[in-house]
Amino acid sequence: MTDITGQPTPTPTARARHFGAVAARGRRQDGVFHAVTLAAALAVLLVLGGVIVSLIAGAWPAVRTFGVDFLLTETWNPVTDKFGALAPIYGTLVTSTIAMAIGVSVGFGIAVFITEICPGWLKRPLGTAIELLAGIPSIIYGIWGLFVLAPFLQHNVQPFLIESFEDVPVLEALFQGPPYGIGVLTAGLILGIMVLPFITSITREVFDTVPPMLKESAYGLGATTWEVVWKVVLPYARVGVVGGVMLGLGRALGETMAVTFVIGNAHRISASLLAPGTTISAAIANEFTEAVGDIYASSLILLGLILFVITFGVLALAKLLLRRAQARSGGTR
């Protein structure tokens, strides 16, 4: 028998053999694909393990010399080989807190405006402008902060803050001292601008994934825009929002060059946000090439290990809180 093209019609045995060959080829391809993806996943774990082992090995001399006192001491004296990480840890946490307070609040507002309020003709230009901020090198932010933002803060903002909170408890301590321009507050502002595009872009993208029917139903029931965002959009997109915030926080914790330009690089702790300070990444970048002696270099590596632990701890805590929130809501997202 022949088909419409004049070719012999395959017998059932031939068809079965053909389909078996296709299935076998598919299984081989699936096996290769599985092996490649498994190798990629294991490579990530190997790299991460290698980083951890290298940090621990390099930091061990400092751990053996200073012990827990390294975390509780402010002194940083390369001449006498006396080192403590308290000032860099304090600076890292404070600048990151300022950055996230700015980035999360402003980024969330921009994302809500673009997705819910912004007119159609403005959405694309505004979204593109926000995304372009993420492509600016950090050293450019640092130069701009040093030559533009710091003088502006020194002459206009910091004197106003000092005078305004002069007799206010708590706030007086946060905004006291001479207006240097550079300092912890300036570094936090720079970091806030740097993390803004990451938080805004991801938040906007996950807001756009919310089914329009959910929002339209809420509006139909008489909900305001804020109620729709708070009670419909945000619960639906909470996983993506948390991911964007964590990405921004990771950038803030590990940023080096921009912070180095504007923080003042002083190994001391001050209650005032206007005073110079330092961060873990800035201290490593400034001093690693000048580290003479095993203890000095090991102390800087130990700072890197501490930064790794802080970042890991923050991410783990965020995951835990997110799982608890999902468990309470009974959702799977």
pLDDT at 51 over 70: yes
Q: What is the pLDDT of residue 16?
A: 66
Mean pLDDT across 86-111: 93
**Location of structure tokens 């809500």:** 112
What fold is seen in the domain 69-329?
Answer: MetI-like fold (1.10.3720)
| Range 153-159 average pLDDT | 92
- With a cut of 70, say whether residue 5 has pLDDT above it: no
pLDDT higher than 70, residue 328: no
In this predicted structure, the answer to whether residue 2 has a pLDDT above a threshold of 60 is no
Instruction: Supply the pLDDT for residue 159.
Output: 92
Determine the Cα–Cα distance for residues 127 and 237; give it in Å rounded to an integer: 19
Identity (one letter) of the amino acid at 72?
Answer: L
Neighbours of 162 (CB within 10 A): 17
Which burial class, exposed, middle or buried, applies to 38 when counting CB atoms under 10 A from its CB (0-12, 13-18, 19+)? exposed
The residue written with tokens 């805590």 in the block is 317
Cα gap 188→253, rounded to integer Å: 11
Average pLDDT over residues 48-54: 92
pTM of the predicted model as reported, rounded to 2 decimal places: 0.83
Please write down the long-range contacts of 53-57, taking CB distance under 8 Å and 24 or more positions apart: 55/301, 55/304, 55/305, 55/308, 56/305
Assign 247 a pLDDT band (cuts: 50, 70, 90).
confident
Which helix (H) or strand (E) element contains residue 83? strand 82-83
CA angle, 109 as apex, 107 and 110 as ends, to 5°?
A: 65
Indicate the average pLDDT of the chain. Answer: 86
Report pLDDT digits (tens) over 7-25: 566 666 766 676 667 677 7
How much is the pLDDT for 330?
57
State percent of the chain over pLDDT 70: 91
pLDDT of residue 34 exceeding 70, the answer is: yes
Q: State the pLDDT confidence band at 102, using cuts at 50, 70 and 90.
A: very high
Biggest CA–CA distance in the chain, Å, is 102
Instruction: Give residue 326's pLDDT band: very low, low, confident or very high (50, 70, 90).
Output: low
The token pair that represents 81 in the structure block: 């080989």
Collapsed DSSP state (helix, strand, coil) of residue 291:
coil
Helix (H, G, I), strand (E, B) or coil at 202: helix
| DSSP label at residue 210 | S
Arithmetic mean of pLDDT, 139-146: 92
Torsion, CA 28, CA 29, CA 34, CA 40, rounded to 10:
130
Residues in the chain, overall count: 333
Picking from 75, 62, 105, 309, the residue whose alpha carbon sits closest to that of residue 195 is: 105
DSSP 77: E
Say whether pLDDT at 246 is over 60: yes
Residues with Cβ within 8 Å of residue 84, at least 6 apart in sequence: 66, 69, 70, 71, 72, 73, 74, 75, 76
Predicted local distance difference test score (pLDDT) of residue 9: 61
* pLDDT for the residue 234: 86
Domain boundaries along the sequence of the chain? 12-66, 69-329
pLDDT at residue number 332: 46
**What percent of the chain has pLDDT above 90?**
41
